[in-house]
Copies of this chain bind each other. A is one copy, B any other.
């Protein structure tokens, strides 16, 4: 009843690789795997990592090599294969944004304070509420962090090993996916900010602000399951 086209059948047919040269060791296999990878990535609604792709492709497929090849094929096309948050996704080419740009009316505009806070969290992470307040020179309202957490761009990522063990904030995978970043290291201008020393601690404020990193900082503890985390918010 379930007439499933078997992998083996398709590979046996090997219909695709008309351009396979004689020097290619296993051209039939590769071309067919490339088609599979293309189909999987095209069909997916979310970025996929190499491990997930490996599970969907026949065993022994060199996923990384195939991805590099597919990325090259699509490099100059209207659709590109890009790596975001360490995962792969087809996306429309950036230079065609003039053609595709649509402003969603429901896309709520973040307040100036929220955008500033987002930038501080992104570039300085892991960062505590006190550190955000120190940089902005003003108390941070609960609504601002809430708005960023609601959009799904900011999360509580741990606790700092200092007095009171304040929670630390960081950006989410959704943030990277939304802004098309492979990692927080790819934030625009991160190198310049760092070179100018703006991501360093200021001497008198006694703050300890390392470069943004998704890994736990030396003085940061991971958030435990049972850790309410949010508790800190009420203190301010």
Q: Are A77 and B43 in contact (CB under 8 A)?
A: no
Q: Are A39 and B96 in contact (CB under 8 A)?
A: yes
List, in ascending order, chain B residues with CB within 8 A of A40's CB: 78, 99-100
Q: Are B13 and A188 in contact (CB under 8 A)?
A: no
Q: Are B101 and A4 in contact (CB under 8 A)?
A: yes
**Is A143 interfacial (CB-CB < 8 Å)?**
no
Given contacts A40-B100, A43-B100, contact A6 B77 (CB under 8 A): no
* Chain A residues proximal to chain B, CB less than 8 Å: 1-2, 4-7, 10, 13, 15-16, 18, 34-40, 42-43, 56, 75-80, 90, 92-101, 103, 152, 186-189
Q: Are B10 and A76 in contact (CB under 8 A)?
A: yes
Q: Are A2 and B98 in contact (CB under 8 A)?
A: no
Given contacts A2-B188, A98-B4, A103-B4, contact A42 B92 (CB under 8 A): yes
With beta carbons under 8 angstroms apart, the residue of B5, B35, B92, B98 that contacts A98 is B5
Q: Are A99 and B2 in contact (CB under 8 A)?
A: no
Cα distance, A35 to B236, chains bound together (Å): 52
Cα distance, A188 to B56, chains bound together (Å): 31
Q: Are A90 and B2 in contact (CB under 8 A)?
A: no
A–B complex contacts, Cβ < 8 Å, 6 sampled = A6-B95, A7-B95, A35-B96, A36-B96, A38-B77, A39-B79
Q: Are B76 and A15 in contact (CB under 8 A)?
A: yes
With beta carbons under 8 angstroms apart, the residue of B1, B36, B101 that contacts A78 is B36
Tell me the smallest distance from the CB of A129 to a CB of chain B, in Å.
25
Q: Are B103 and A43 in contact (CB under 8 A)?
A: no
Q: Are A56 and B99 in contact (CB under 8 A)?
A: yes
